[in-house]
Each structure stands twice: as structure tokens, then as C-alpha cells.
């Protein structure tokens, strides 16, 4: 990842280098075009000045002389020819007409005698007719050539230095940024390797709010789920081993006693063995229930809007025959619309398990259900008239395989544990109030989605 990011930055730098060379070429081209344009403008001005010196079929040598002086100052060697090709005036003639001292000074300035090259000829017009020819060529003036060369050299040096500064700076920044940007990915990689080796406690720390930060959050939730699942797995295996040990030990003891003739009442011995086998069957069924429930712990909440006025009577109607068998009643006390958005499957498991627990420990009376709104939550209260739970045992009733009544051979102590874990998954809360001999009240609080 770090290498890819660095290569991406390096590609940008190479692109900048190519752009630098193109930019340099464009600057040099524009400079040459500028020089060429200036010379064209100067030549145009000289041509117009020379043409204006022709009046009534004659050349005004004073104006031509002044024109050539200006041309020489501009660095142009000029000569003007008539229609017959005869030279009228030129830079050389002007130089020869100067005093000796001035001539030497002008010669040192313009290098007239060392100037070589082909003259470019331009026709001269007056009132639409050709009146002569202007021939021109640039002086080989060292100062101008040197200044142009110095300008070009400094421009190239400036661009080269600026590129080196920008390039080296970009490389350093690219290296630092690649380290910075790839660090969260490296942390995720190391954390994933730890999880691969069974360390589910690892978490990634990031304060970023970009895609990498979101990825880290998802990774942490995944690690938390795996840690919880691993903890539940170990706890379940431990509890299963403990719960299996007792009936298997009893069965083994009964079989050995029957084989050795210690138990003379074989029918009673077989009845004991059958009871423990039934207990094992119930245990396996309970384990299946836990497996199904655990699958829902880690599944995504599938929320649907329901009306508790219709939902709760539907659940109780299915359980009504079991209550009638014990001459108990079950009823929903409220009859008002209350629309909520919940995972229906999980909520039904929760209510069924609580009602089944109440049914098990209730001998007279029955179960009543009440629902309503508590600020930003809705609640479902399930109250029974059973034998109640001692206050010192309430903190343990949601532990797996916990049975407050040790004489209960049918319960596995899994129902309320499943209830508690499902409510946590749904971001809710459960409260228990109980009085021994009077009954127990389970209050479920879940987030309210207002219609």
C-alpha cells in the first residue's frame, strides 16, 4: 500500500517534470516570437520612414539619413536602392561620412565591418507604385546576442532550480504522506493477523472520519463480535460439559448398579435412567435453541413496523392452551394502538421465553401484559402471580444454565439468558421486580420509532 501511494506521487512528480520542460520550451518560443515581433515592428517603422522621404520623384537624403541612424540604433544594417538597383544610401555611407572619432565610437558599438549575412529585401511604395528597395540585415552586435543568451540561460537555470526545489520537496512530501496514509492500513493488517492467530481483543485506533476511519470502525465491530462469539462459545462448551456430566454420571451409576445387582428394583432403575435420558434430550434441545438465538445475535436487525395492539394478542393466543392446561389465564390489559419499529422475530423470542418462564413457576392466577411509552422508549411489562424470586437471586437469573430452583429437572436455565442477550442486541434494557409468594414483573424497554 505504501509503495503504491509513493509510486502515485512519483508519477505526479514525473508529470510535473515533463510539464516543466514543456513550459521551458514555451517560454523560449514566446521569447523568440517576441524578439521577432519587435524586429518586424522596427522594420515596418523604418520602411514607412524611408517611403515618406520620397517626394516628387526625388529622395530626401536628410530624412533617409535620419532613418538609417535610427535603424543602426535598433541594430539593423540598412541600404536603400532605387528602381535601377543603384545604392542611394546605406549604413556604410553614413559611417564613412562621420568624423573619425565618432566613426570609431560607432564602429565599436555596431561592429559594421564584421557584420555578415544575406540582406532581406523589401519593396518601397509611394502612392501604390514601387519606388525602390530596402535591404536589411541585423548587426552582429555582441552585446545584444550576449544579453539574449544570458536571459535564456537565467530562464533555464531558474526553471531548473525551481523544479529541483519542487521535485525534492515533492519527493519528501510524497514519502511522508505515503507513510501517513498507509499507517492506518498497516495497523488494520497487523490487527487482522492477530485475529487470525486467535487474539480477538485487538482493536484499531483511528480518529479519521474518511473511508479508512469507517473501515476501522467496521473492523472493530467485527472484532468485538468475534470476541463475544468466542467468549460465548467457550462459556457454552463449559456449561454443556458441566450439564452433561451429571446425567451421564447418574446413567453410568444406575447401569453399573443394575449390572452388579445392587439395585433390585430394575423397573425403578430403568425409570431413573429414562429420566436422565429425557434430561439429556432437553439439554440438546436447549443447546439447539441457544444456537438459533446466537445466530440471531450476530445477524443484522431486520426491523419492521408493527402495532403492539395486534402483535401481543397474536403471541398470547398461541400460548393460551398451555395456560388453560394449568387453569391459568393470560391477557393483554391494554387496547390502544402503539406503532413501533423492531426486529419482530427477536421480540417474539423474548416475549415467548419470559411468558414460558412465568408459566413454569405460576400455579394460580396467571400472566398479564401491559405496554406503553416511556419518554423515547416503549415498554412491555409481563407480570405473573407465581412464587417470585428471592432478591439475592435476581442478579443471576440471566446467567446461562442458572436455575434458581434446583428441584426443577425440566428447566435448563437458558431462556432468560437468551432474553437478556437479545435485548442487548436490540439496544434495549430489561428490569425485574419480584416479591416471594406474590409474583414477578419483567419490564422490557426498547428504542421507540415514532410514526
Question: How many domains does the chain divide into?
Answer: 3
- CATH number of 212's domain: 1.10.287.130
Burial readout 234-258 (b: 16 or more C-beta within 10 A, e: otherwise): eebeebbeebeeebeeebebbeeeb
Same domain for 127 and 17: yes
CA distance 86 to 363: 142
β-strand pairing of 129-138 with 76-81: antiparallel
Instruction: Judge whether 185 lies within some domain.
Output: no
Domain ends where: 247, 275, 299? 299
Residue 423 lies in a domain: yes
Last-in-domain residue among 299, 324, 357: 299
Q: Are residues 310 and 436 in the same domain?
A: yes
C-alpha 355: how far from chain center: 46
- Joined together, the cell numbers standing for residue 257 give 448398579
Does residue 396 share a domain with residue 292? Answer: no
Task: Identify the residue whose cell numbers are 506521487.
Answer: 9
pLDDT at residue 141 in the model: 61
Has this prediction a pTM greater than 0.85? no
The CA distance from 304 to 344, in Å, is 7
**Host domain of residue 344:** 300-451
Q: What pLDDT score was predicted for residue 9?
A: 66
Instruction: List per-residue pLDDT tens for the chain, 451 residues long.
Output: 556 666 666 677 777 777 777 877 787 788 778 878 888 888 888 899 888 888 888 888 888 888 888 888 787 888 899 888 899 888 888 877 777 766 666 666 655 556 667 888 999 998 888 989 999 888 766 666 677 778 778 877 887 787 778 778 777 877 777 777 777 777 888 888 888 888 888 888 777 677 777 888 888 888 887 887 777 677 767 767 777 787 888 888 888 888 887 777 788 888 888 888 887 887 777 677 666 666 666 566 788 899 999 999 999 998 899 899 999 999 999 889 999 999 998 899 899 989 988 998 899 999 999 999 988 899 999 999 998 999 888 888 887 767 666 555 455 677 888 888 889 888 899 999 999 989 999 999 999 864 4
157: Cβ–Cβ under 8 A, 6 or more apart, which residues? none
Q: What CATH number is associated with residue 131?
A: 3.30.450
Read off the DSSP letter of residue 300: P
Answer for the pair 35, 43: CB distance below 8 angstroms, yes or no.
no
Do 262 and 335 sit in the same domain of this protein? no
Q: What is the CATH number of the domain that holds 406?
A: 3.30.565.10
Radius of gyration for the chain, computed over Cα atoms and rounded to the nearest angstrom:
52
The secondary structure element, H or E, covering residue 373 is: strand 366-374
Task: Say whether both 126 and 35 belong to one domain.
Answer: yes
* Structural domain contains residue 155: no
Amino acid at each position: 500500500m505504501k509503495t503504491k501511494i509513493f509510486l502515485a506521487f512519483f508519477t505526479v512528480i514525473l508529470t510535473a517534470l515533463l510539464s516543466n520542460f514543456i513550459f521551458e520550451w514555451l517560454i523560449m518560443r514566446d521569447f523568440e516570437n517576441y524578439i521577432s515581433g519587435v524586429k518586424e515592428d522596427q522594420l515596418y517603422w523604418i520602411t514607412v520612414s524611408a517611403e515618406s522621404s520620397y517626394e516628387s520623384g526625388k529622395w530626401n537624403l536628410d530624412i533617409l539619413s535620419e532613418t538609417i541612424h535610427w535603424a543602426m540604433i535598433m541594430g539593423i544594417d540598412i541600404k536603400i536602392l532605387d528602381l535601377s538597383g543603384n545604392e542611394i544610401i546605406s549604413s556604410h555611407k553614413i559611417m564613412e561620412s562621420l568624423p573619425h572619432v565618432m566613426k570609431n565610437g560607432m564602429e565599436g558599438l555596431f561592429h559594421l565591418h564584421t557584420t555578415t549575412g544575406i540582406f532581406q529585401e523589401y519593396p518601397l511604395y509611394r502612392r501604390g507604385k514601387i519606388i525602390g528597395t530596402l535591404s536589411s540585415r541585423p548587426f552582429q552586435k555582441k552585446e545584444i546576442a550576449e544579453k539574449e543568451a544570458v536571459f535564456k540561460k537565467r530562464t533555464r537555470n531558474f526553471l531548473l532550480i525551481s523544479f529541483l526545489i519542487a521535485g525534492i520537496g515533492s519527493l519528501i512530501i510524497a514519502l511522508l504522506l505515503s507513510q501517513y496514509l498507509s499507517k492506518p492500513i498497516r495497523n488494520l493488517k497487523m490487527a487482522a493477523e492477530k485475529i487470525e492467530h486467535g487474539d480477538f481483543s485487538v482493536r484499531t485506533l483511528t480518529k479519521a472520519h474518511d473511508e479508512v476511519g469507517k473501515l476501522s470502525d467496521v473492523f472493530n465491530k467485527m472484532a468485538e463480535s468475534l470476541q463475544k462469539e468466542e467468549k460465548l462459545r467457550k462459556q457454552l462448551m463449559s456449561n454443556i460439559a458441566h450439564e452433561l456430566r451429571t446425567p451421564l454420571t447418574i446413567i453410568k451409576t444406575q447401569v453399573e448398579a443394575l449390572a452388579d445387582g445392587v439395585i433390585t428394583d430394575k423397573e425403578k432403575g430403568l425409570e431413573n435412567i429414562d429420566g436422565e435420558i429425557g434430561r439429556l434430550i432437553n439439554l440438546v434441545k436447549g443447546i439447539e435453541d441457544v444456537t438459533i438465538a446466537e445466530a440471531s445475535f450476530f445477524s443484522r436487525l431486520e426491523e419492521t413496523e408493527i402495532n403492539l395492539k395486534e402483535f401481543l394478542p397474536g403471541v398470547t393466543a398461541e400460548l393460551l392452551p398451555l395456560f388453560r392446561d394449568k387453569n391459568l389465564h393470560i391477557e393483554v390489559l391494554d387496547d390502544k394502538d402503539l406503532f413501533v419499529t423492531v426486529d419482530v422475530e427477536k421480540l417474539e423470542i423474548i416475549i415467548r421465553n419470559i411468558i414460558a418462564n412465568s408459566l413454569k413457576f405460576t400455579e394460580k392466577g396467571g400472566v398479564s401484559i401491559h405496554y406503553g411509552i416511556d419518554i423515547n422508549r416503549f415498554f412491555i411489562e409481563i407480570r405473573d402471580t407465581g412464587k417470585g424470586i428471592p432478591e439475592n437471586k435476581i442478579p443471576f437469573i440471566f446467567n446461562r444454565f442458572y436455575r434458581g430452583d434446583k428441584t426443577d429437572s425440566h428447566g435448563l436455565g437458558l431462556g432468560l439468558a437468551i432474553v437478556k442477550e437479545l435485548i442487548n442486541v436490540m439496544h434495549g434494557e430489561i428490569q425485574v421486580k419480584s416479591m416471594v409468594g406474590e409474583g414477578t414483573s419483567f419490564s422490557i424497554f426498547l428504542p421507540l420509532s415514532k410514526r
